[in-house]
Structure 1
Amino acid sequence: MNRELHKKIYSPRIYRKIEFIVLLCTLEIIISFVISTYNPPYEALLFKLDFFSISFLTFEFIYRFVGSKNKTKFFKDKYNLIDAFVIVAFIMYLLEATLTHVIVSLRIINAVRVLMVLRAIKFKELRLSNETINFITIFTFSFILSCFIWLVEHEVNPGINNFGDAFYFTVVSLTTIGYGDITPMTSEGKLIIVLAVLYVISGLVSKAKGFLHEEHRLYYENKKIKKKIS
C-alpha cells in the first residue's frame, strides 16, 4: 500500500470516527440483547440491526488487522481474540447454522467486550469518584453474569423469563441476600453463581488484607518516627 494512502486511511481522525461507530454498534448489540429477552414483536428488526452492527465490527477488525505492523502481536491482544471469535460466529450465522444460539452468543460476547473496554479504559479517562467507579465495576460484573445466567437458565427456570429476572437473581446471589424466590435449575447456572460468589469473596478478602497491611505499615513507620524524635 502506498505510504501516503496508508496515512490517509489510518489517520487519527478517521480512526476516531470508526471507533465511535464501533462503540455505537456494540451498545446496539447490548440493548438488542436485553430487549430480545422480553420476546418483543419486532425481533426481526433487532436481528437486522445486529446484522449491520456485527458487519461493521467485522470491517473494523479487518481494518485494524491490515493496518497493524506486527500481525502476531495483534492476535496476542485478548480483545482481538474475542473479535476474531465474534467474526467466526458471524460466519456461522451467515451460513444459517444454529441461528438463534449464534446471535445470542454474539450479543453476549460483544456485551462482555464493550463493558470490559469501558471499565478498563474509558472510566480511567473520566474524573469519577471512587464510589462511582466501584458502582460501575459492580454493575458491569453483575450485567455480564446476568447475560450468562439468562442464557443457561431461561429455557428451564420458571423464575427467569427475561433479563430483568436474571439480573435480579444475580444481584441477590452476589450480595448473599438469598430470598429464595429464584434458584438456579441447571448445573451451569449453579457453577456460574458459585464461581462468582467465590470471586467476590476473594476480592473482599484481598481488599481487607491490603487494608490491614497498609495499616500495619503505617503503624511501624509512625513508631520509627517517634523513636527518632525521642
Structure 2
Amino acid sequence: MPLSAYLHTVDLCVLCYCRAAAELKLLLNKREAEPFAGHWALPGVVVNGDVQDLSLKDAVERLRASDKVGLDLAWSEQVGTVGDAFRDPRCWSSSTYYLAIVADEMALGEHQGWFSLSSVADGSIKLPFDHNSIVAAVHERLLSKSLYSNLPLMFLGPEFSAPEATTIFSLVLARPVLKTSIRQRLLKLMEAGYLRETGRKKNGEGGRPQATVENLKPGAVYFFDRSFAD
C-alpha cells in the first residue's frame, strides 16, 4: 500500500458464557491474509467507499452475518475508536470496536474459536495489531456497565433462574454477589415489565428444581437506581 493509504475497520468482541468452563469466552478468527496470516484475531471488516454500508450499524450487521461471526447477537454496543500510524504495519489505520453478546456457546467454523476473555484481556493470549488492548477496553466496559444494569442477563437467553442470574453477575463482576441483591434486582425488573415468572422449573445445581423467569424485553437494557459499587 502507498504511504497515503488508510484503513478503517469495524471490529466485534463477541462474548458468550461457557457454562461447562464457568467462564466468559471471546470469539476469534484465524486470519487468512497478511499481515499476521494464521494468527487468531478479532473478527472485523474494512469500511470504505467500495462497500455498500451506509453507516457503522450497516457494517456491524455485514460483519455479524458473515462467516467471521455468523451468530445471532443478544446485544451489541459501540465501545470506542482507536487509530494511529503504528497499529497496522500496512498503513495508518483506525478501528471502531464493539461489545457483543451471544446467549449460547454455539458451534463455530474451522477458522473460528472461543477463547478465554480474561486471558486475552490481560495479554496472556497474544493477539496481533492492538486487539489485546481493544479486548481489555471492552472487558472494562462490560464490568462497569454490569455494576448498574441488567447487561449480564443477556448471556442467559430468554429464560433463566435466580441462581443462574447470581452466577452470571458474580462471573462478570469477578466477585461474589449476594443472592438477596440479585433477587431484589429481578424483582425490580419484573415490576418494570422486563421479566415475568414462567411457572416452570428447571434442574439446577444438585438436580434441585429452580423456578424460572422469562425475559420480556430481549435486547433491552435496564438501569438500576443503585450500583453494586455502592
Q: TM-score, normalised by structure 1?
A: 0.25
Looking at both structures, which has the greater relative contact order when contacts are Cα pairs under 8 Å and sequence separation is at least 6? 2
Determine which structure has more spread, i.e. the larger CA radius of gyration.
1
Q: TM-score, normalised by structure 2?
A: 0.25
Higher helix fraction (1 or 2) = 1
Higher strand fraction (1 or 2) = 2
